[in-house]
Structure 1
Amino acid sequence: MSHLDRRQLLRAAGVSVCLPLFSSLRAGGNETSGQSSGRKPRMVCIGNMLGFHPEAYWPTAANAKSDEGLTIHRDFSLGRSTAPLRAISDRMTMIAGLDHDTAGGHFSVHTFLSGVRQIDAKTMPDANVTIDQYAAETIAGQTRFPSLTVGSESGIHGGCQLSWTRTGTRVPPITGPEQLFQILFVGNSEKDKVAAADRFKLQGSILDFVRSDANRFGRTLNRQDRDKLDEYLTSVRDVEKRIGLRRNWIDIPKPEAPFDRPKNRNMVEDLPLLYDLIALALQTDSTRIATLEIGGDFNPRDLGVDGDYHALSHHGQLTERIEALVKLETYQIEQFVRFIEKLSAMNEGEHNLLDQTSVLFGSGMGNANSHNNVNLPVILAGGGFEHGRLLAFDKNSSHRPPLTNLFVSMLQNFGVETDRFSTSTGTLRGLA
């Protein structure tokens, strides 16, 4: 079966990204509960590739009563790098003490939104699908783009690895504001529409060929291999559904561009613009799900800081390096705050966009200097949750939940009827 590798089939179909099993399609295309009420929940997940210096990131708080390993603080002092969060303190919650119980240093950063290492994906029912792709399956066809993944293709681990499909495939990122602008606002001409129609026709023809060839080959297989072949053909059918949904958008105009096409500069200068474009994508309902990875080509010199970002994260407790690192991390927090304030200023009906958007900010790296993946930095903003708090879970408590419990809560808030995700044991306690 090696020459019938799933990825080869998918590439033959001209699709190099995810092949999820769309839950909403299997249910006949019914909208989720959140959608049927007229509400349009959104989700944005932002991941930092190198984490944050813990001593500058984590807040301090007075002692409070703990209940089964959870302490809820309403009065706490932010750290040096997180000080900008004061501006949005009523719209965000910091969560301490959670992780995925994985190890591997930088090579486990990709578990941030899934809870599953890629090497362990085959042992999991949903592989290492990330929360964004899981949610996108439930609203397939309702927006032009089921999800948007933004990040760099450079970096210490071979490019953006924030989003993964349930087939164990990395979702390639949109690599800069110029490319994201192009996707969101360019392509309304008749020439573009004809080219898109021709592309869909070619992909359909390739899928017909793949299916025919696979069926013919299947007559020579034993039962075990026929079962494997059925899995491949299921993937082919999923591609056909996805192509059909994308084809429906050919004649629907894209929104008018709010400004001229930008040029890519560098990650430091591009970061606020990427946030602005993601906000516009949500506001125009081009998508309701987006992820953004910060890292890769984030160059300290573009902030006037000497050194390499990765090298600075391994500061060896040297004061000069720590101060440089904190400057980089503070800038990232500042841009996150700016994004939250922008969503707060965008109105949709009786509510602002932030009220309908769950925004997760954090990292799959707990402390890059010591290469650990415990006590991950996690901030949740918006989404209608109760905020203005620090939820601190005791890492030594037998009641400490996995980070994936937060993802169950976020999925339910998004309108997905589920009580599990990946390694979860339920929803996250203390989150209201």
Structure 2
Amino acid sequence: MPSFQMNRRRWLRGAGVTLALPLLARDADAQDKPAGESNPIRDVKRMVCVANPFGFVAETFFPEHPGKLSDLPPLLQPMDQHREQMTVLSNLDHGVSGGHQAVHSFLSGIRNSQSSSFANRNVTVDQVAADRCVGQVRIPSIVAGVGHTDSELECQTSWTRTGVNIPPISRANDLFELLFATETQQQRDERRRVLRENASVLDVIFRQADALKNDLGASDRRKLDEYLQSVRNIEKNIANLDQWIDRPKPTVEMTSPPAGGSFAQRLPTFYDIIALALQTDSTRVATLSIPGNLPVADLGLQGNYHAFSHHGKTDRMLKPLFKIEHYQIEQFARFIAKLKSIETPDGRPLLDSTMVLCGSGMGNASSHSNKNLPILLAGGGFKHGNHIVAPEASSKRIPLCNLYTTMLQEFGCEDVDAFNTASGTMSELQA
């Protein structure tokens, strides 16, 4: 049985990531609604976002022509069997610059250093979706990364409404244990004690803040309010964690993966765990980031991923880079196939209710450009099978956040009219 050690630091981090029960037909049937009313289990939407720090070489990623996906480019060949369930989008970006320092804006459209003027800072699309899941699932959002990397070359994929980056769970066995490890009564009692201790600390913070407010000017009061909002989010996460302590975790056939292993082993393992988490309704939102320092020796190469990304259009660098990128797409295609093979209680493939985004905040790593980001969207009930080419002229550009607005609205966030820097939606995707 996998061990599950609890300490305050780990659990506070868990509260930030946030923590569900199997998605069984009997559960759906037990919650059947009268005719005309939606069912909370059958009608749920799910979201997965996959990111890497260097993007994909445009010439091998983007189809040659707009319109129906007929002949896929070399890099996307592993996705050929999924052509009718996917869309490739060109000429979408966030209008930001900064090379590696702007990659973290991939899911938000806003650089953290420029986020202070936005009401929700540089909150990412996954976290907006996750907010709607609090109380409904054990873990509203999984934030995972396939190993560690240095800060400059990592994706820093997920950000909160207060501009805080959520550190990813970087070991597959930790993620598995968080989701599926059986806990003893002693472990549950310890978790409950730690949560209540943390809740008591928050109560003290709120009392001190109330006493301080009257002595502050308008500017400082706004800063305090922002801080208190982040504290309220922690309070909400603690309440969510507490209500799930005594509910049994799903039983799955997969066993806890061993620690370590090669990148070639870890990437598919993370995908398998995320698929299980979605299947058991343990979460409805997940992000997975690929590290910039992934060990290319695991793929039979000498050198390093970052160096290859500065290819200068030379075959000597492009060939190994293609192998690295192709492996990522192969595993993404395998994940999509797995979601297609899993049946939900209403008899549909899990992919139909799961929107899966693959891309990067880097458009061209060789020139450090953050323009024309590589974007692939699969599943989720959208109108697929096409290559959508947005206007290239800067005066007519369509923000990538338009896509995120469309995704959020499909997810069930109907009140989101324009996510962050969006100017509208992507009507081309609406079935």
TM-score category by the smaller chain? 0.7 to 0.9
The alignment partner of 2:164 has SS state of coil
Separation in 1 of the partners of 2:151 and 2:224? Answer: 36
Q: Verify: 1:428 aligned to 2:426, yes or no.
A: yes
Asked if the contact 1:363/1:378 (under 8 Å) is kept, the reply is yes
Q: Verify: 1:174 aligned to 2:169, yes or no.
A: yes
The one of 228, 235, 238 aligned to 2:230:
235
1:268 maps to what in 2?
Answer: 264
* TM-score, scaled relative to structure 1: 0.87
Asked if the contact 2:52/2:292 (under 8 Å) is kept, the reply is no
The one of 107, 120, 145 aligned to 2:139:
145
Q: Report the alpha carbon displacement of residue 386 of structure 1 after superposing the two structures with TM.
A: 1.4
1:80 maps to what in 2?
Answer: 74
2:113 maps to what in 1?
Answer: 119
Separation in 2 of the partners of 1:37 and 1:176? Answer: 30
2:64 maps to what in 1?
Answer: 60
Question: 5+ residue gaps in structure 2?
Answer: 1-8, 19-36
Post-superposition Cα deviations, 1:178-211, rounded to whole Å, max 9, x if no partner, equal 1111111114321221111011111012112222
Q: Report the alpha carbon displacement of residue 217 of structure 1 after superposing the two structures with TM.
A: 3.5
2:315 maps to what in 1?
Answer: 319
Give, as a single letter, the amino acid of the residue that structure 2 aligns with 1:258: E
The one of 355, 360, 374 aligned to 1:358:
355
Asked if the contact 2:75/2:325 (under 8 Å) is kept, the reply is yes
1:379 maps to what in 2?
Answer: 376
Post-superposition Cα deviations, 1:321-373, rounded to whole Å, max 9, x if no partner, equal 11000011111111000000000000002211000000001111111001101
Q: Report the alpha carbon displacement of residue 226 of structure 1 after superposing the two structures with TM.
A: 3.5
1:249 maps to what in 2?
Answer: 244
2:387 maps to what in 1?
Answer: 390
Identity of aligned residues (%): 43
Separation in 2 of the partners of 1:296 and 1:384? Answer: 32
Question: 5+ residue gaps in structure 1?
Answer: 1-10, 21-32, 62-71
Asked if the contact 2:87/2:384 (under 8 Å) is kept, the reply is yes
Separation in 1 of the partners of 2:219 and 2:138? Answer: 39
Post-superposition Cα deviations, 1:233-271, rounded to whole Å, max 9, x if no partner, equal 343333222211210000101111422211231333211
Give, as a single letter, the amino acid of the residue that structure 1 aligns with 2:399: P
Asked if the contact 1:18/1:170 (under 8 Å) is kept, the reply is no
Superposition CA RMSD, Å: 2.2
Separation in 2 of the partners of 1:230 and 1:156? Answer: 29
> 1:298-337 counterparts in 2 under 5 A?
298-337=294-333
Asked if the contact 1:50/1:295 (under 8 Å) is kept, the reply is no
Q: Report the alpha carbon displacement of residue 420 of structure 1 after superposing the two structures with TM.
A: 0.9
> 1:338-349 counterparts in 2 under 5 A?
338-348=334-344, 349=346
The alignment partner of 1:347 has SS state of coil
Separation in 2 of the partners of 1:15 and 1:303? Answer: 32
Indicate how the Cα distance of structure 1 residues 298 and 35 shifts in structure 2: closer, same or farther if over 3 A, else same. farther
Aligned residues: 399
Q: Verify: 1:162 aligned to 2:162, yes or no.
A: no
* TM-score, scaled relative to structure 2: 0.87
Q: Report the alpha carbon displacement of residue 294 of structure 1 after superposing the two structures with TM.
A: 1.0
